[in-house]
Amino acid sequence: SAVISQKPSRDICQRGTSLTIQCQVDSQVTMMFWYRQQPGQSLTLIATANQGSEATYESGFVIDKFPISRPNLTFSTLTVSNMSPEDSSIYLCSVLTLASGELFFGEGSRLTVL
């Protein structure tokens, strides 16, 4: 298993600002991902965070809007840039355990943009 800590757990932000979400894992993991869950919706994969290189983004998500860093195997950040109310969502960090193929999630960061 993996224990994932995310912060902030929630924030209220003004339109046009940016917010960085941090994700810390208690063990070294190869695969880390960032998901978004909009109100009443399911999870959408934003990107795969690659250690030491640029993240791999899914269709509809771009680096300028969601820059991601992953300096080592236990830590990653996701920035939501130039926020608008449409960015109000829960952002979840997740890691994949290769042995079991199970995804573990952080508790999420609930973002509200006014």
Q: Which residues bind other proteins (CB under 8 A)?
A: 31, 35, 41-45, 48, 92, 96, 101-103, 105-108
Report the nearest approach of other proteins to the CB of residue 5 (Å). 12
Q: What is the spatial distance between Cα 37 and Cα 43, in angstroms, rounded to a whole number? A: 5
Cα separation, 19 vs 13, in Å, equals: 8
d(CA 40, CA 28): 32
Helix (H) or strand (E) holding 103: strand 102-105
Least CB distance to other proteins at residue 2 (A): 12
CB of residue 103 to other proteins, shortest distance in Å: 6
- Tell me whether residue 49 or residue 83 sits nearer to other proteins (CB atom): 49
Looking at beta carbons only, is 10 or 15 nearer to other proteins?
Answer: 10
- 87 phi/psi in degrees, rounded to 5: -85, -5
Question: Residue 19 or 92: which CB sits closer to other proteins?
Answer: 92
**Which residue's CB is nearer to other proteins, number 14 or number 39?**
39
**CB 13, CB 114: distance < 8 Å:** yes
